[in-house]
Structure 1
Amino acid sequence: MIERRQFKETSIFLVFQNLIEMELKEVEDYINEISCELRQKQKKLEKDYENANKKVEEDAEYDVNSFFEDDIHKYFKVFPIYTYNPLLLTLYGQFENWLKKLCDLDSRKGFSKVRVKDLAGNNYIEKSRRYLEIVAEINLDDTKLEWQKITQIQKLRNCIAHNDSNIIKDKSIPIEKQELYKNILNDNRLEFDKIKGDFYIKEPEFLFDTIGLIRKYLAAVIDKIKSRNVVAKNMSMPFDNANWGQEKTENLLKQIISALNQLDENEARTDEYKDSDLKGNLRGIFESMAFNVTKLYSFFTNGKWETIDQKYIIEEREKGLEKIKKLYDIK
Protein backbone atom coordinates (compact mmCIF):
# COMPACT_ATOMS: atom_id res chain seq x y z
CA MET A 1 0.00 0.00 0.00
CA ILE A 2 1.30 3.45 -0.90
CA GLU A 3 1.52 5.78 2.09
CA ARG A 4 0.23 9.12 0.85
CA ARG A 5 1.83 11.02 3.71
CA GLN A 6 5.28 10.37 2.25
CA PHE A 7 4.38 12.86 -0.47
CA LYS A 8 4.65 15.90 1.75
CA GLU A 9 2.97 19.15 0.86
CA THR A 10 5.29 22.00 0.00
CA SER A 11 5.76 24.26 3.01
CA ILE A 12 4.28 27.73 2.60
CA PHE A 13 7.58 29.03 3.96
CA LEU A 14 9.54 27.34 1.18
CA VAL A 15 7.13 28.77 -1.38
CA PHE A 16 7.66 32.20 0.15
CA GLN A 17 11.44 31.68 0.14
CA ASN A 18 11.33 30.90 -3.58
CA LEU A 19 9.30 34.06 -4.15
CA ILE A 20 11.88 36.11 -2.23
CA GLU A 21 14.70 34.56 -4.22
CA MET A 22 12.94 35.33 -7.49
CA GLU A 23 12.42 38.98 -6.53
CA LEU A 24 16.01 39.35 -5.31
CA LYS A 25 17.26 37.91 -8.58
CA GLU A 26 15.18 40.44 -10.50
CA VAL A 27 16.73 43.28 -8.49
CA GLU A 28 20.21 41.83 -9.08
CA ASP A 29 19.58 41.66 -12.82
CA TYR A 30 18.36 45.25 -12.83
CA ILE A 31 21.39 46.51 -10.89
CA ASN A 32 23.71 44.55 -13.19
CA GLU A 33 22.20 46.09 -16.28
CA ILE A 34 22.12 49.71 -15.16
CA SER A 35 25.55 49.52 -13.49
CA CYS A 36 27.10 48.06 -16.66
CA GLU A 37 25.68 50.92 -18.70
CA LEU A 38 26.94 53.46 -16.19
CA ARG A 39 30.40 51.90 -16.07
CA GLN A 40 30.62 51.94 -19.86
CA LYS A 41 29.88 55.66 -19.86
CA GLN A 42 32.40 56.24 -17.08
CA LYS A 43 35.12 54.27 -18.90
CA LYS A 44 34.43 56.11 -22.15
CA LEU A 45 34.61 59.42 -20.33
CA GLU A 46 37.91 58.43 -18.69
CA LYS A 47 39.33 57.41 -22.06
CA ASP A 48 38.16 60.61 -23.76
CA TYR A 49 39.62 62.64 -20.92
CA GLU A 50 42.95 60.83 -21.20
CA ASN A 51 43.09 61.28 -24.98
CA ALA A 52 42.21 64.95 -24.70
CA ASN A 53 44.98 65.43 -22.16
CA LYS A 54 47.50 63.86 -24.51
CA LYS A 55 46.46 66.11 -27.38
CA VAL A 56 46.78 69.34 -25.43
CA GLU A 57 49.60 68.45 -23.04
CA GLU A 58 51.83 70.97 -24.81
CA ASP A 59 49.18 73.69 -24.68
CA ALA A 60 49.15 74.98 -21.10
CA GLU A 61 46.32 77.41 -21.80
CA TYR A 62 43.79 74.69 -22.66
CA ASP A 63 41.93 73.39 -19.57
CA VAL A 64 40.73 69.86 -20.32
CA ASN A 65 39.11 69.52 -16.91
CA SER A 66 36.75 72.44 -17.50
CA PHE A 67 35.62 70.83 -20.75
CA PHE A 68 34.79 67.49 -19.10
CA GLU A 69 33.76 68.58 -15.61
CA ASP A 70 30.01 68.55 -16.31
CA ASP A 71 30.10 64.99 -17.63
CA ILE A 72 32.40 63.88 -14.80
CA HIS A 73 29.97 65.33 -12.28
CA LYS A 74 27.03 63.69 -14.04
CA TYR A 75 28.38 60.17 -14.52
CA PHE A 76 30.50 59.85 -11.37
CA LYS A 77 28.22 61.57 -8.88
CA VAL A 78 24.73 62.52 -10.05
CA PHE A 79 23.87 59.23 -11.76
CA PRO A 80 25.15 57.01 -8.90
CA ILE A 81 23.25 59.15 -6.38
CA TYR A 82 19.97 58.87 -8.27
CA THR A 83 20.55 55.21 -9.13
CA TYR A 84 22.12 53.43 -6.18
CA ASN A 85 20.83 55.38 -3.18
CA PRO A 86 17.15 54.85 -4.07
CA LEU A 87 17.83 51.16 -4.71
CA LEU A 88 19.03 50.76 -1.14
CA LEU A 89 15.72 52.23 0.03
CA THR A 90 13.90 49.75 -2.20
CA LEU A 91 15.86 46.78 -0.85
CA TYR A 92 15.28 47.89 2.72
CA GLY A 93 11.55 48.25 2.10
CA GLN A 94 11.37 44.79 0.55
CA PHE A 95 13.34 43.27 3.42
CA GLU A 96 11.05 44.90 5.97
CA ASN A 97 7.98 43.65 4.12
CA TRP A 98 9.33 40.10 3.79
CA LEU A 99 10.13 39.89 7.50
CA LYS A 100 6.65 41.08 8.42
CA LYS A 101 5.06 38.53 6.08
CA LEU A 102 7.16 35.73 7.59
CA CYS A 103 5.92 36.65 11.05
CA ASP A 104 2.33 36.83 9.80
CA LEU A 105 2.70 33.37 8.24
CA ASP A 106 3.98 32.02 11.54
CA SER A 107 1.11 33.59 13.47
CA ARG A 108 -1.34 31.62 11.30
CA LYS A 109 -0.14 28.47 13.06
CA GLY A 110 -2.20 29.65 16.01
CA PHE A 111 0.48 29.21 18.69
CA SER A 112 -0.07 32.77 19.90
CA LYS A 113 -2.61 35.54 19.41
CA VAL A 114 0.19 38.12 19.41
CA ARG A 115 0.88 39.57 15.98
CA VAL A 116 3.99 41.38 14.87
CA LYS A 117 2.03 44.63 14.63
CA ASP A 118 1.20 44.37 18.34
CA LEU A 119 4.83 44.55 19.45
CA ALA A 120 6.91 47.59 20.34
CA GLY A 121 9.54 48.82 17.91
CA ASN A 122 10.42 51.73 15.67
CA ASN A 123 9.83 49.75 12.49
CA TYR A 124 8.82 46.32 11.26
CA ILE A 125 12.40 45.09 11.12
CA GLU A 126 12.76 45.63 14.87
CA LYS A 127 9.24 44.34 15.56
CA SER A 128 9.87 41.24 13.46
CA ARG A 129 13.09 40.45 15.29
CA ARG A 130 11.22 40.80 18.58
CA TYR A 131 8.38 38.58 17.33
CA LEU A 132 10.74 35.84 16.16
CA GLU A 133 12.62 35.76 19.46
CA ILE A 134 9.78 36.30 21.95
CA VAL A 135 6.62 34.95 20.29
CA ALA A 136 7.96 32.38 17.83
CA GLU A 137 10.71 31.50 20.36
CA ILE A 138 13.32 31.07 17.64
CA ASN A 139 16.98 31.16 18.63
CA LEU A 140 18.65 33.70 16.36
CA ASP A 141 22.06 33.72 18.06
CA ASP A 142 23.76 32.36 14.95
CA THR A 143 22.51 35.35 12.92
CA LYS A 144 23.99 38.04 15.19
CA LEU A 145 26.72 39.00 12.72
CA GLU A 146 24.21 39.39 9.90
CA TRP A 147 21.90 41.34 12.19
CA GLN A 148 24.67 43.78 13.13
CA LYS A 149 25.35 44.43 9.45
CA ILE A 150 21.64 44.85 8.79
CA THR A 151 21.34 47.47 11.53
CA GLN A 152 24.26 49.38 10.00
CA ILE A 153 22.56 49.34 6.61
CA GLN A 154 19.36 50.43 8.33
CA LYS A 155 21.16 53.48 9.73
CA LEU A 156 22.54 54.35 6.30
CA ARG A 157 19.08 53.94 4.84
CA ASN A 158 17.62 56.28 7.46
CA CYS A 159 20.24 58.92 6.66
CA ILE A 160 19.36 58.69 2.97
CA ALA A 161 15.61 58.76 3.57
CA HIS A 162 15.39 61.24 6.44
CA ASN A 163 18.61 63.28 6.49
CA ASP A 164 19.31 63.99 2.82
CA SER A 165 22.13 61.41 2.66
CA ASN A 166 24.08 63.08 5.44
CA ILE A 167 25.43 61.47 8.61
CA ILE A 168 25.31 64.61 10.78
CA LYS A 169 22.31 64.33 13.06
CA ASP A 170 23.56 66.49 15.92
CA LYS A 171 25.39 69.59 14.69
CA SER A 172 26.80 70.24 18.14
CA ILE A 173 28.94 67.10 17.82
CA PRO A 174 32.09 67.11 15.62
CA ILE A 175 31.71 65.08 12.45
CA GLU A 176 34.41 62.65 13.60
CA LYS A 177 32.18 61.77 16.56
CA GLN A 178 29.07 61.11 14.49
CA GLU A 179 27.84 57.51 14.78
CA LEU A 180 28.44 56.46 11.18
CA TYR A 181 31.64 58.41 10.52
CA LYS A 182 34.19 55.60 10.88
CA ASN A 183 32.11 53.00 9.08
CA ILE A 184 31.50 55.19 6.05
CA LEU A 185 35.06 56.52 6.02
CA ASN A 186 36.45 52.98 5.76
CA ASP A 187 33.99 51.75 3.13
CA ASN A 188 35.44 52.30 -0.35
CA ARG A 189 32.09 51.43 -1.92
CA LEU A 190 30.76 54.75 -0.64
CA GLU A 191 31.76 58.29 -1.54
CA PHE A 192 32.01 60.43 1.59
CA ASP A 193 32.53 64.14 2.18
CA LYS A 194 34.51 64.23 5.43
CA ILE A 195 33.78 67.92 5.89
CA LYS A 196 30.07 68.19 5.13
CA GLY A 197 29.02 64.63 6.03
CA ASP A 198 27.32 63.93 2.69
CA PHE A 199 27.65 60.43 1.23
CA TYR A 200 26.35 58.32 -1.61
CA ILE A 201 26.74 54.77 -2.90
CA LYS A 202 29.23 54.84 -5.74
CA GLU A 203 29.75 51.11 -6.32
CA PRO A 204 26.97 48.59 -7.10
CA GLU A 205 28.89 46.00 -5.05
CA PHE A 206 27.42 47.65 -1.95
CA LEU A 207 23.94 46.73 -3.17
CA PHE A 208 24.98 43.23 -4.23
CA ASP A 209 26.47 42.66 -0.77
CA THR A 210 23.25 43.94 0.79
CA ILE A 211 21.24 41.49 -1.30
CA GLY A 212 23.53 38.66 -0.23
CA LEU A 213 23.09 39.67 3.40
CA ILE A 214 19.29 39.78 3.09
CA ARG A 215 19.27 36.42 1.31
CA LYS A 216 21.42 34.76 3.98
CA TYR A 217 19.49 36.19 6.93
CA LEU A 218 16.04 35.36 5.56
CA ALA A 219 17.14 31.83 4.61
CA ALA A 220 18.31 31.25 8.19
CA VAL A 221 15.05 32.59 9.62
CA ILE A 222 12.89 30.53 7.24
CA ASP A 223 14.87 27.38 8.01
CA LYS A 224 14.13 27.85 11.72
CA ILE A 225 10.55 29.01 11.47
CA LYS A 226 9.34 26.34 9.04
CA SER A 227 10.32 23.54 11.44
CA ARG A 228 8.40 25.04 14.35
CA ASN A 229 5.30 22.84 14.12
CA VAL A 230 4.47 22.01 17.75
CA VAL A 231 4.66 23.99 20.98
CA ALA A 232 3.96 22.18 24.25
CA LYS A 233 3.68 24.21 27.46
CA ASN A 234 1.73 24.36 30.68
CA MET A 235 1.72 26.64 33.72
CA SER A 236 4.22 24.49 35.59
CA MET A 237 6.51 24.10 32.59
CA PRO A 238 6.17 27.38 30.64
CA PHE A 239 9.01 26.62 28.23
CA ASP A 240 8.59 24.57 25.06
CA ASN A 241 8.48 20.86 25.94
CA ALA A 242 7.80 19.56 22.44
CA ASN A 243 11.06 17.59 22.32
CA TRP A 244 10.40 16.14 25.77
CA GLY A 245 6.90 15.07 24.71
CA GLN A 246 8.28 13.52 21.54
CA GLU A 247 10.81 11.56 23.59
CA LYS A 248 8.17 10.24 26.02
CA THR A 249 5.71 9.20 23.31
CA GLU A 250 8.49 7.56 21.30
CA ASN A 251 9.43 5.55 24.39
CA LEU A 252 5.81 4.44 24.68
CA LEU A 253 5.79 3.31 21.06
CA LYS A 254 9.00 1.36 21.60
CA GLN A 255 7.47 -0.29 24.67
CA ILE A 256 4.37 -1.27 22.69
CA ILE A 257 6.62 -2.75 20.00
CA SER A 258 8.54 -4.63 22.68
CA ALA A 259 5.30 -6.06 24.09
CA LEU A 260 4.18 -7.19 20.63
CA ASN A 261 7.55 -8.83 20.06
CA GLN A 262 7.13 -10.67 23.36
CA LEU A 263 3.77 -12.01 22.16
CA ASP A 264 5.32 -13.18 18.87
CA GLU A 265 8.15 -14.90 20.70
CA ASN A 266 5.65 -16.59 22.98
CA GLU A 267 3.83 -18.02 19.97
CA ALA A 268 7.07 -19.51 18.68
CA ARG A 269 8.06 -21.08 21.98
CA THR A 270 6.94 -24.57 23.03
CA ASP A 271 8.59 -24.89 26.44
CA GLU A 272 6.63 -25.02 29.68
CA TYR A 273 7.95 -21.65 30.91
CA LYS A 274 6.85 -19.56 27.95
CA ASP A 275 3.63 -18.24 29.52
CA SER A 276 5.19 -17.40 32.87
CA ASP A 277 8.04 -15.61 31.09
CA LEU A 278 5.55 -13.70 28.95
CA LYS A 279 3.56 -12.55 31.97
CA GLY A 280 6.70 -11.38 33.76
CA ASN A 281 8.06 -9.57 30.72
CA LEU A 282 4.75 -7.88 29.91
CA ARG A 283 4.32 -6.73 33.50
CA GLY A 284 7.77 -5.14 33.38
CA ILE A 285 6.93 -3.38 30.12
CA PHE A 286 3.60 -2.10 31.49
CA GLU A 287 5.32 -0.79 34.61
CA SER A 288 7.77 1.16 32.44
CA MET A 289 4.93 2.44 30.27
CA ALA A 290 3.12 3.68 33.37
CA PHE A 291 6.04 6.01 34.12
CA ASN A 292 5.84 7.68 30.70
CA VAL A 293 2.04 7.77 30.57
CA THR A 294 1.62 9.36 34.01
CA LYS A 295 4.30 11.94 33.15
CA LEU A 296 2.47 12.88 29.96
CA TYR A 297 -0.88 12.87 31.77
CA SER A 298 0.44 15.23 34.43
CA PHE A 299 1.85 17.56 31.79
CA PHE A 300 -1.36 17.86 29.79
CA THR A 301 -3.44 18.35 32.94
CA ASN A 302 -0.92 20.72 34.54
CA GLY A 303 -0.54 18.30 37.44
CA LYS A 304 2.48 17.76 39.65
CA TRP A 305 3.99 14.37 38.84
CA GLU A 306 5.62 12.15 41.46
CA THR A 307 7.26 8.74 40.99
CA ILE A 308 4.59 7.15 43.16
CA ASP A 309 1.99 7.99 40.49
CA GLN A 310 3.26 5.04 38.49
CA LYS A 311 2.64 2.71 41.42
CA TYR A 312 -0.90 4.00 41.85
CA ILE A 313 -1.70 2.78 38.33
CA ILE A 314 0.17 -0.53 38.57
CA GLU A 315 -1.05 -1.50 42.03
CA GLU A 316 -4.46 0.17 42.34
CA ARG A 317 -5.61 0.30 38.69
CA GLU A 318 -8.94 2.21 38.41
CA LYS A 319 -8.73 3.46 41.99
CA GLY A 320 -5.19 4.60 41.33
CA LEU A 321 -6.33 6.58 38.29
CA GLU A 322 -9.05 8.29 40.32
CA LYS A 323 -6.47 9.12 42.99
CA ILE A 324 -4.16 10.66 40.39
CA LYS A 325 -7.02 12.71 38.94
CA LYS A 326 -7.70 14.18 42.36
CA LEU A 327 -4.01 14.89 42.91
CA TYR A 328 -3.85 16.61 39.50
CA ASP A 329 -7.04 18.52 40.33
CA ILE A 330 -8.90 17.15 37.32
CA LYS A 331 -12.62 17.87 37.55
Structure 2
Amino acid sequence: MNIFEFNKNEIIKIELNDFKKRFDHELRYLEEYFELNKKMLIKRKWELDSCLSDDILNNPELEDTFRDFYLLDYIKIPCYFYNSAIVSLYSLLENNLNSLCEIIQTETNFVIGLNDLTGSNIIDKGRRFLIKIANIDFRKVDKEWIRITDYQKLRNLIVHNNSQIKNRETDFKLLSRFNGIKTYSVEKDFHISDIKVISDFLALIKKFISSLIDQIEERKFKKFITAQVPYPFDEDEKIELPF
Protein backbone atom coordinates (compact mmCIF):
# COMPACT_ATOMS: atom_id res chain seq x y z
CA MET A 1 0.00 0.00 0.00
CA ASN A 2 1.35 3.42 -0.97
CA ILE A 3 -0.74 6.33 0.32
CA PHE A 4 1.99 8.95 -0.17
CA GLU A 5 2.81 11.17 -3.09
CA PHE A 6 5.90 13.30 -3.25
CA ASN A 7 7.56 15.73 -5.60
CA LYS A 8 10.30 13.66 -7.20
CA ASN A 9 12.26 16.79 -8.02
CA GLU A 10 12.25 18.24 -4.50
CA ILE A 11 14.89 16.76 -2.25
CA ILE A 12 15.43 18.78 0.91
CA LYS A 13 17.88 19.05 3.76
CA ILE A 14 16.52 19.94 7.15
CA GLU A 15 18.46 22.68 8.91
CA LEU A 16 18.15 22.70 12.68
CA ASN A 17 20.03 25.89 13.54
CA ASP A 18 17.09 27.49 15.37
CA PHE A 19 16.36 24.27 17.21
CA LYS A 20 20.00 23.93 18.26
CA LYS A 21 20.08 27.49 19.60
CA ARG A 22 16.94 26.91 21.67
CA PHE A 23 18.24 23.59 22.93
CA ASP A 24 21.60 25.10 23.91
CA HIS A 25 19.84 27.93 25.76
CA GLU A 26 17.69 25.46 27.68
CA LEU A 27 20.75 23.46 28.67
CA ARG A 28 22.59 26.56 29.88
CA TYR A 29 19.61 27.73 31.92
CA LEU A 30 19.32 24.35 33.61
CA GLU A 31 23.05 24.11 34.22
CA GLU A 32 23.01 27.54 35.87
CA TYR A 33 19.91 26.63 37.90
CA PHE A 34 21.48 23.39 39.11
CA GLU A 35 24.73 25.15 40.01
CA LEU A 36 22.88 27.79 42.03
CA ASN A 37 20.97 25.13 43.92
CA LYS A 38 24.13 23.12 44.49
CA LYS A 39 25.78 26.13 46.14
CA MET A 40 22.71 26.74 48.30
CA LEU A 41 22.62 23.11 49.40
CA ILE A 42 26.31 23.21 50.33
CA LYS A 43 25.76 26.39 52.34
CA ARG A 44 22.74 24.86 54.07
CA LYS A 45 24.72 21.73 54.97
CA TRP A 46 27.43 23.90 56.58
CA GLU A 47 24.76 25.65 58.63
CA LEU A 48 23.26 22.34 59.74
CA ASP A 49 26.70 20.99 60.60
CA SER A 50 27.31 24.06 62.76
CA CYS A 51 23.95 23.80 64.53
CA LEU A 52 24.38 20.09 65.14
CA SER A 53 27.88 20.58 66.53
CA ASP A 54 26.66 23.30 68.89
CA ASP A 55 23.80 21.14 70.16
CA ILE A 56 26.12 18.18 70.76
CA LEU A 57 28.69 20.40 72.45
CA ASN A 58 26.08 21.78 74.83
CA ASN A 59 24.42 18.41 75.47
CA PRO A 60 26.90 15.64 74.66
CA GLU A 61 24.76 12.99 76.35
CA LEU A 62 22.07 13.63 73.67
CA GLU A 63 24.33 13.24 70.67
CA ASP A 64 22.46 10.23 69.21
CA THR A 65 19.14 11.97 69.70
CA PHE A 66 20.37 15.10 67.96
CA ARG A 67 21.76 13.14 65.03
CA ASP A 68 18.43 11.35 64.56
CA PHE A 69 16.59 14.66 64.86
CA TYR A 70 18.76 16.38 62.23
CA LEU A 71 18.69 13.46 59.79
CA LEU A 72 15.53 14.57 58.01
CA ASP A 73 16.87 18.14 57.82
CA TYR A 74 19.89 16.82 55.95
CA ILE A 75 17.81 14.68 53.59
CA LYS A 76 14.50 16.35 52.78
CA ILE A 77 15.41 19.68 51.14
CA PRO A 78 18.09 18.18 48.84
CA CYS A 79 15.67 15.37 48.01
CA TYR A 80 12.98 17.81 46.90
CA PHE A 81 15.47 19.55 44.61
CA TYR A 82 16.89 16.34 43.14
CA ASN A 83 13.44 14.89 42.50
CA SER A 84 12.20 18.04 40.80
CA ALA A 85 15.39 18.15 38.73
CA ILE A 86 14.79 14.63 37.41
CA VAL A 87 11.23 15.56 36.43
CA SER A 88 12.38 18.81 34.76
CA LEU A 89 15.08 17.06 32.77
CA TYR A 90 12.68 14.37 31.64
CA SER A 91 10.32 17.11 30.41
CA LEU A 92 13.25 18.70 28.56
CA LEU A 93 13.88 15.38 26.82
CA GLU A 94 10.20 14.91 25.94
CA ASN A 95 9.76 18.43 24.58
CA ASN A 96 12.86 18.39 22.41
CA LEU A 97 12.23 14.92 21.04
CA ASN A 98 8.68 15.99 20.21
CA SER A 99 9.99 19.18 18.55
CA LEU A 100 12.40 17.24 16.33
CA CYS A 101 9.56 15.02 15.12
CA GLU A 102 7.32 18.03 14.46
CA ILE A 103 10.06 19.77 12.48
CA ILE A 104 10.55 16.71 10.26
CA GLN A 105 6.80 16.36 9.76
CA THR A 106 6.38 20.06 8.89
CA GLU A 107 9.40 20.31 6.59
CA THR A 108 8.46 17.20 4.60
CA ASN A 109 4.67 17.77 4.61
CA PHE A 110 4.37 14.27 6.03
CA VAL A 111 0.80 13.48 7.06
CA ILE A 112 1.58 11.18 9.98
CA GLY A 113 2.60 12.78 13.24
CA LEU A 114 3.67 11.67 16.66
CA ASN A 115 0.10 11.35 17.93
CA ASP A 116 -0.77 8.96 15.09
CA LEU A 117 1.68 6.36 16.38
CA THR A 118 1.13 3.90 19.18
CA GLY A 119 3.24 4.16 22.28
CA SER A 120 2.86 4.49 26.02
CA ASN A 121 4.58 7.89 26.24
CA ILE A 122 6.12 10.70 24.19
CA ILE A 123 9.67 9.42 24.10
CA ASP A 124 8.54 5.96 22.95
CA LYS A 125 6.43 7.56 20.22
CA GLY A 126 9.32 9.84 19.30
CA ARG A 127 11.64 6.88 18.91
CA ARG A 128 9.10 5.05 16.73
CA PHE A 129 8.59 8.15 14.57
CA LEU A 130 12.30 8.72 14.03
CA ILE A 131 12.94 5.06 13.21
CA LYS A 132 9.86 4.26 11.11
CA ILE A 133 9.14 7.60 9.49
CA ALA A 134 12.46 9.47 9.37
CA ASN A 135 14.65 6.38 8.98
CA ILE A 136 17.00 7.44 11.80
CA ASP A 137 19.46 4.76 12.88
CA PHE A 138 18.86 4.33 16.61
CA ARG A 139 21.67 1.78 16.81
CA LYS A 140 23.98 4.79 16.96
CA VAL A 141 22.34 5.94 20.21
CA ASP A 142 21.50 2.52 21.61
CA LYS A 143 23.70 2.96 24.68
CA GLU A 144 22.18 6.36 25.45
CA TRP A 145 18.65 5.07 24.86
CA ILE A 146 19.08 2.19 27.31
CA ARG A 147 20.28 4.62 29.97
CA ILE A 148 17.41 7.00 29.20
CA THR A 149 14.93 4.19 29.91
CA ASP A 150 16.57 3.80 33.35
CA TYR A 151 15.98 7.49 34.05
CA GLN A 152 12.46 7.18 32.70
CA LYS A 153 11.71 4.45 35.24
CA LEU A 154 13.38 6.48 38.00
CA ARG A 155 11.22 9.47 37.09
CA ASN A 156 8.11 7.28 37.21
CA LEU A 157 9.02 6.02 40.68
CA ILE A 158 9.34 9.62 41.84
CA VAL A 159 6.18 10.94 40.18
CA HIS A 160 3.80 8.00 40.44
CA ASN A 161 5.09 6.20 43.54
CA ASN A 162 6.24 9.20 45.61
CA SER A 163 9.73 7.64 45.81
CA GLN A 164 8.27 4.50 47.34
CA ILE A 165 9.56 1.04 46.47
CA LYS A 166 6.58 -1.05 45.39
CA ASN A 167 8.29 -3.98 43.75
CA ARG A 168 11.33 -4.92 45.80
CA GLU A 169 13.00 -7.01 43.12
CA THR A 170 12.65 -4.72 40.09
CA ASP A 171 12.82 -1.38 41.91
CA PHE A 172 15.93 -2.23 43.94
CA LYS A 173 17.56 -3.59 40.80
CA LEU A 174 16.83 -0.35 38.96
CA LEU A 175 18.03 1.91 41.77
CA SER A 176 21.23 -0.09 42.15
CA ARG A 177 22.22 1.08 38.66
CA PHE A 178 22.60 4.65 39.95
CA ASN A 179 25.52 5.85 42.02
CA GLY A 180 24.08 8.42 44.39
CA ILE A 181 20.75 6.89 45.38
CA LYS A 182 20.20 5.55 48.88
CA THR A 183 17.57 2.90 49.53
CA TYR A 184 15.97 1.86 52.79
CA SER A 185 14.71 -1.70 52.94
CA VAL A 186 12.72 -1.17 56.14
CA GLU A 187 10.93 2.04 55.11
CA LYS A 188 10.71 0.84 51.48
CA ASP A 189 11.68 4.20 50.05
CA PHE A 190 14.71 5.89 48.51
CA HIS A 191 16.22 9.30 48.00
CA ILE A 192 18.79 10.83 45.67
CA SER A 193 21.85 11.83 47.67
CA ASP A 194 24.28 13.04 45.01
CA ILE A 195 23.83 15.76 42.39
CA LYS A 196 25.87 13.61 39.99
CA VAL A 197 22.66 11.67 39.28
CA ILE A 198 21.28 14.97 37.94
CA SER A 199 24.38 16.13 36.06
CA ASP A 200 24.75 12.71 34.42
CA PHE A 201 21.15 12.87 33.18
CA LEU A 202 21.72 16.34 31.73
CA ALA A 203 24.87 15.18 29.92
CA LEU A 204 23.02 12.10 28.64
CA ILE A 205 20.20 14.18 27.17
CA LYS A 206 22.69 16.55 25.54
CA LYS A 207 24.60 13.69 23.92
CA PHE A 208 21.43 11.89 22.82
CA ILE A 209 19.70 14.89 21.25
CA SER A 210 22.95 16.10 19.63
CA SER A 211 23.43 12.71 17.98
CA LEU A 212 19.88 12.80 16.60
CA ILE A 213 20.47 16.32 15.29
CA ASP A 214 23.60 15.17 13.46
CA GLN A 215 21.76 12.30 11.78
CA ILE A 216 18.81 14.46 10.74
CA GLU A 217 21.02 17.17 9.26
CA GLU A 218 23.18 14.63 7.41
CA ARG A 219 20.41 12.93 5.49
CA LYS A 220 18.17 14.01 2.64
CA PHE A 221 14.38 14.00 2.72
CA LYS A 222 11.77 13.95 -0.01
CA LYS A 223 9.03 16.52 0.29
CA PHE A 224 5.51 15.15 0.13
CA ILE A 225 2.39 16.38 -1.58
CA THR A 226 -0.47 16.54 0.91
CA ALA A 227 -2.45 13.32 0.77
CA GLN A 228 -5.45 11.81 2.48
CA VAL A 229 -4.59 9.17 5.07
CA PRO A 230 -7.04 6.51 6.24
CA TYR A 231 -7.82 6.98 9.92
CA PRO A 232 -7.01 5.40 12.23
CA PHE A 233 -3.57 4.70 10.88
CA ASP A 234 -2.65 1.03 11.07
CA GLU A 235 1.04 0.75 11.91
CA ASP A 236 1.10 -2.96 11.15
CA GLU A 237 0.03 -2.39 7.57
CA LYS A 238 2.98 -2.27 5.17
CA ILE A 239 3.51 1.25 3.86
CA GLU A 240 6.03 2.26 1.25
CA LEU A 241 8.06 5.18 2.52
CA PRO A 242 10.02 6.94 -0.26
CA PHE A 243 12.99 7.96 1.90
TM-score tier after normalising by the smaller chain length: 0.7 to 0.9
Local SS of the residue matching 2:137: coil
1:93-114 deviation digits (Å, cap 9, x = unpaired): 1210110111000011226321
How far apart are the structure 2 equivalents of 1:40 and 1:193? 26
How far apart are the structure 2 equivalents of 1:187 and 1:218? 22
Return the letter of the residue paired with 2:192: I
Return the letter of the residue paired with 1:82: Y
Q: Of the candidates 189, 194, 201, which is equivalent to residue 180 of structure 2? A: 189
Does the 8 Å CA contact 1:45/1:72 hold for their aligned counterparts?
no
After superposition, the CA RMSD in angstroms is: 2.5
Q: Of the candidates 179, 189, 194, which is equivalent to residue 203 of structure 1? A: 194
Residue 73 (str. 1) matches residue 76 (str. 2): no
Q: Of the candidates 29, 32, 37, which is equivalent to residue 32 of structure 2? A: 29
Local SS of the residue matching 2:164: coil
Does the 8 Å CA contact 2:181/2:192 hold for their aligned counterparts?
yes
How far apart are the structure 1 equivalents of 2:66 and 2:184? 24
Q: Which runs of 4+ in 1 moved over 4 A?
A: 50-53, 238-241
Residue 227 (str. 1) matches residue 204 (str. 2): no
Larger Rg: 1
Return the letter of the residue paired with 1:114: I
- Per the alignment, residue 135 of structure 2 pairs with 137
- Per the alignment, residue 49 of structure 2 pairs with 46
Counterparts of residues 1-331 of structure 1 (less than 5 Å): 12-50=15-53, 53=56, 55=57, 62-67=61-66, 69-74=68-73, 76-110=74-108, 112-169=110-167, 175=168, 177=169, 179-185=170-176, 187-231=178-222
Q: Call closer, same or farther: CA 1:107–1:228 in 2, change over 3 Å.
A: farther
1:59-98 deviation digits (Å, cap 9, x = unpaired): 86x2024235444312x21102221101211111121011
More strand by share: 2
Does the 8 Å CA contact 1:146/1:213 hold for their aligned counterparts?
yes
Local SS of the residue matching 2:80: helix
% same residue: 27
1:188-240 deviation digits (Å, cap 9, x = unpaired): 311211234311222111111100000000000011112333349xxxxx576
Report the TM-score, using the length of structure 2 for normalisation.
0.79
Task: Please list every run of 5 or more consecutive structure 1 residues that lacks an aligned counterpart in the other structure.
Answer: 1-9, 170-174, 233-237, 242-331
Return the letter of the residue paired with 2:123: I
Report the TM-score, using the length of structure 1 for normalisation.
0.59
Higher relative contact order (CA 8 A, sep 6+): 2
Task: Please list every run of 5 or more consecutive structure 2 residues that lacks an aligned counterpart in the other structure.
Answer: 1-12, 224-239
Q: CA deviation at 1:52?
A: 5.4
Return the letter of the residue paired with 1:216: K
Local SS of the residue matching 1:94: helix
Return the letter of the residue paired with 1:84: Y
How far apart are the structure 2 equivalents of 1:196 and 1:226? 49
1:131-159 deviation digits (Å, cap 9, x = unpaired): 00000011110100000000010001111
1:164-196 deviation digits (Å, cap 9, x = unpaired): 112314xxxxx2x2x231231353311211234
